[in-house]
């Protein structure tokens, strides 16, 4: 089995992601935002030395349902309380591992230069499960991000709970990635631990965001 690493995770939220202001108020450092052409989404991003936490929203539902990202089903996920609002982007540790870690399909975003593309897990047709992206163009030792997160430096662990039980093989494989665990739960929830929980602090952002933060 391929050795995987979590690159970043995202949460699908309401338009403009105003809830992300709650993280800014804690001293978290926000990076630049971007529109995802052809995917119909936009984001707000928080960077760390070893990853990123992203807040994503549907900017243009027509673009999201008609563009190359239509099979990600973001508009459906955004309006359904039963759907998972989460996604994970993974990369490999060993640059010599050239196989795909799970069954899926090639996603060539309009905002990437060809041939740079994602491999999306075939569990994308299950709205109950988080989306799983594999980025074959990223390898360990070539960090996609390289700055601290303001008052917070690094991501220790991301735990994702899904109402899907049992989980698909795609999720089972994704859950083997460093810094990531995915398991069944009674509600969709993401628990992020930063800096090894050294300060012993916890913030539960529910009901505004399905997120608990430990630092």
In this structure, what token pair is assigned to residue 89? Answer: 């982007």
- 114-155 pLDDT, tens digit per residue, is 999 999 999 999 999 999 999 999 976 544 555 565 789 999
Give the β-pairing of 51-58 and 4-12: parallel
Indicate which CATH number applies to the domain containing 94.
3.10.180
Q: Is 208 a member of any domain?
A: no
Torsion of CA 142, 148, 152, 154, to 10 degrees: 10
> Is cis: bond before 166, omega within 30 of 0?
yes
Residue 210 falls inside a structural domain: no
Which structural domain, as residue segments, surrounds residue 74? 4-151
Q: Report the pLDDT averaged over residues 52-58.
A: 98
What is the pLDDT at residue 30?
95
Summarised one tens digit per residue, pLDDT across range 151-193 is 899 999 999 999 999 999 999 999 999 999 999 999 999 999 9
Query: What is the pLDDT at residue 11?
Result: 99
The residue-averaged pLDDT of 85-94 equals: 97
- Checking if the pLDDT of 22 tops 60, the result is yes
Q: What is the pLDDT of residue 148?
A: 61
Whether 157 is in a domain gets the answer no
pLDDT of 79 reads: 95
* Cis status, amide bond into 97, omega within 30 of 0: no
Has residue 194 been placed in a domain?
no
- Is residue 1 very low, low, confident or very high in pLDDT (cuts 50, 70, 90)? confident
Write down the pTM of the prediction: 0.94
Bridge partners (DSSP) of residue 149 are 152
In a domain, 167, yes or no: no
pLDDT score of 96 more than 90 = no
Q: What is the pLDDT of residue 142?
A: 47
pLDDT reading at 208 higher than 90: yes
Q: Answer for the pair 53, 43: CB distance below 8 angstroms, yes or no.
A: no
Question: Does residue 30 belong to any structural domain of this protein?
Answer: yes
Residue (of 19, 22, 5) closest to 55 by Cα position: 19
3-state secondary structure 129-167: CCEEEEEEEEECCCCCCCCCEECECCEEEEEEEECCCCC
Contact 51, 145 (CB under 8 A): yes
Query: What is the average pLDDT across 99-105?
Result: 97
More confident residue, 199 or 142: 199
Q: What's the total number of domains in the chain?
A: 1
pLDDT at 153: 95
* Residue 202 belongs to some domain of the structure: no
59 falls within a domain: yes
Write down the pLDDT at residue 149.
59
């Amino acid at each position: 089995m391929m050795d995987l690493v979590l690159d970043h995770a995202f949460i699908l939220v309401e338009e403009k992601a105003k809830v992300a202001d709650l993280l800014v108020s804690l001293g978290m450092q926000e990076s630049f935002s971007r529109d995802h052409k052809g995917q119909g989404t936009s984001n707000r991003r928080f960077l760390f030395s070893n990853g990123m936490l992203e807040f994503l929203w549907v900017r243009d539902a027509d673009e999201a349902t008609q563009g190359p990202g239509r099979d990600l089903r973001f508009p459906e996920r955004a309006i359904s309380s039963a759907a998972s609002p989460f996604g994970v982007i993974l990369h490999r540790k060993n640059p010599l591992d050239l196989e795909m870690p799970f069954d899926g399909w090639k996603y060539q975003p309009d905002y990437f230069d060809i041939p740079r593309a994602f491999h999306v897990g075939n569990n994308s047709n299950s709205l109950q499960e988080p989306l799983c992206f594999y980025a074959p163009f990223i390898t360990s030792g070539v960090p996609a991000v390289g700055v601290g997160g303001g008052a917070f430096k690094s991501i220790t662990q991301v735990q994702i709970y899904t109402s899907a039980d049992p989980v698909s093989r795609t999720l089972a494989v994704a859950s083997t990635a460093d810094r990531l665990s995915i398991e069944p739960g009674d509600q969709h929830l993401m628990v992020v631990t930063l800096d090894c929980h050294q300060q012993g602090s916890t913030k539960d952002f529910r009901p505004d965001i399905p997120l608990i933060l430990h630092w």
